[in-house]
Structure 1
């Protein structure tokens, strides 16, 4: 259960892009009595308004009353906005939010990839806080989020960090504030580059992939290409440590398929251009090559075209 210790007033939250990840954190905040509005797609919002948001976890299965809206103007008055849209929607999200943000509103990017906070900030004309998100959650249907594991957040430092961290802790969300967020975002990106595309191409979970001949060696090549590109961007990563992370994912999340796989199966656009595609783009910018990442990127693009994503 959330921490029952009363601390008031909590900052007012808005979740922009309340799908699986945004819905998970928004539901936990609402469950703990922290004021929050979830802004999402019409069918999802309608279901939440009519029935509440069903959140299934390993420890509870509850339907939580939430405030939900489809209008970006619903962020008006929020102290904190959690941006949880897909990476390809970043600029559009910023443009939709910009007229409705207060001068002191903290904007946090809870997105895949390493450059979304910067991209949001360029459109908003203000700093955006990058956040590393470690959660496995899926949207099972309108008004229904299933949590598969983890849930920690790592926030870059910002003025309101203490209040935001306290509210999230009250909601049962493990949260730390760290200067090492750029390094952590790159580390997460490398793991995503290793598994997301390959899981999407095969429609198979991580454990199955790791058990196939040649896959561990292939993933080591992905890791080393990413490490070289990160180094050129000024981020020092350890290839051996990342190899170990990739191996642990195979056992710790053996039955999980990637978000890229789920997007393909549903005929939705993927975030591949902001995962393997980002590595390929940055490699070109530095005069490097990333052939394995390029192959994975190309294959996912072909599947997107074939399935009409």
Structure 2
């Protein structure tokens, strides 16, 4: 299958690399330094179970989605609309666009600007770009999709590539479950610049996380969302299954980049306000991350 990855950062490179290694024609669309390295040497896929140099195409241009039957949409939540507009003129009429993004409303926002089918995928993977063209995998790697995206060929290609795939009738609830994990860990990991395993050892951290989870569950319930599973246990286990992982927000702040905090704790804050549910702990975490960002990006302070 011909596959394009729009936004070939850590998540996009990991899944694109796994699919290319399985024999699919994959094009990564990303930043110049990564594109140059991949064109020159291939993608270095450094996982917990194997290391491999994978040959695939790479481009800086959104037009490289042309002809792809499957597009993995992996840009930051803040760039959803703009990146969607960039690929819209080039998408094949029958392309399936999978949103592999943090947050709960990206697929909906993306669908508003595209004629092609857009479906959300919930991503559970710990990964980072360790250098140009070098993706480092720290743990997990499963995806959750809804029935609307669960075509036989899509399910088969991911599973054959070694990517665990679950089909859920409650993908909205699964998105919220992932959002709650992000709200519990991302801001704290970013502010402390600590990986998950060390973070949870901090005095008072588990209590703060419990407060965040409670607020998020209250907002979800008010919104009529059924969050599956034992959320509190899932939060606890993240530190065990991804002990060396820094949150994406931590990585963004460390590199001086704007984060997705407005689409994580900030989203819960806004939804809570609209539904009359107090979210004071999420408010504090959101505010603190925004303050750090404003200090590094003064022009964004009023955004």
So what's the TM-score if we normalise by structure 1? 0.93
Q: Which residue of 2 aligns with 1:103?
A: 93
Query: What's the CA shift for 1:159?
Result: 6.0
Q: 1:237 to 1:33 in 2, by over 3 A?
A: closer
Query: What's the CA shift for 1:251?
Result: 2.4
Is the counterpart of residue 258 in structure 1 residue 269 in structure 2? no
Is the counterpart of residue 303 in structure 1 residue 292 in structure 2? yes
Query: What's the CA shift for 1:250?
Result: 2.4
Q: 1:160 to 1:242 in 2, by over 3 A?
A: closer
Q: Which residue of 2 aligns with 1:42?
A: 32
Superposed, 1:76-91 pairs within 5 Å as 76-91=66-81
Q: What secondary structure sits across from 1:123 in the alignment?
A: coil
Contact 2:93 2:116 in 1 (8 A): no
Deviating more after overlay: 40-49 vs 168-177: 168-177
Contact 1:156 1:178 in 2 (8 A): yes
Which of 216, 228, 241 is matched with 1:226 structurally? 216
Task: Find the aligned partners of 2:5 and 2:200 in 1 and give their Cα distance.
Answer: 35
Contact 2:138 2:242 in 1 (8 A): no
Contact 1:15 1:26 in 2 (8 A): yes
Superposed, 1:153-192 pairs within 5 Å as 153-158=143-148, 161-192=151-182
Task: Find the aligned partners of 2:182 and 2:156 in 1 and give their Cα distance.
Answer: 29
- Segments of 5+ residues of structure 2 without an aligned counterpart are none
Task: Find the aligned partners of 1:126 and 1:28 in 2 and give their Cα distance.
Answer: 24
Query: What's the CA shift for 1:41?
Result: 1.0
Q: Which residue of 2 aligns with 1:246?
A: 235
Aligned CA RMSD, in angstroms, stands at 1.5
Which of 254, 260, 282 is matched with 1:271 structurally? 260
Query: What's the CA shift for 1:211?
Result: 1.6
Task: Find the aligned partners of 1:101 and 1:117 in 2 and give their Cα distance.
Answer: 16
Contact 1:113 1:185 in 2 (8 A): yes
User: Deviations along 1:51-108, whole A, 9 cap, x unmatched?
Assistant: 1110101222111111111111111111111101111110011101110112211111
Which of 145, 167, 170 is matched with 2:135 structurally? 145
Query: What's the CA shift for 1:292?
Result: 0.2
Q: Which residue of 2 aligns with 1:216?
A: 206
Moved over 6 A (4+): none
- Segments of 5+ residues of structure 1 without an aligned counterpart are 1-10
Task: Find the aligned partners of 2:5 and 2:67 in 1 and give their Cα distance.
Answer: 13
May I ask how many residue pairs the two structures share in their alignment? 298
Q: What secondary structure sits across from 2:112 in the alignment?
A: helix
User: Deviations along 1:193-221, whole A, 9 cap, x unmatched?
Assistant: 00100010011122222222221111111
Query: What's the CA shift for 1:254?
Result: 2.2
Q: What secondary structure sits across from 1:279 in the alignment?
A: helix
Q: Which residue of 2 aligns with 1:5?
A: none
Contact 2:138 2:244 in 1 (8 A): no
Which of 261, 286, 292 is matched with 2:281 structurally? 292
User: Deviations along 1:167-204, whole A, 9 cap, x unmatched?
Assistant: 11221111122212111110010011001000100111
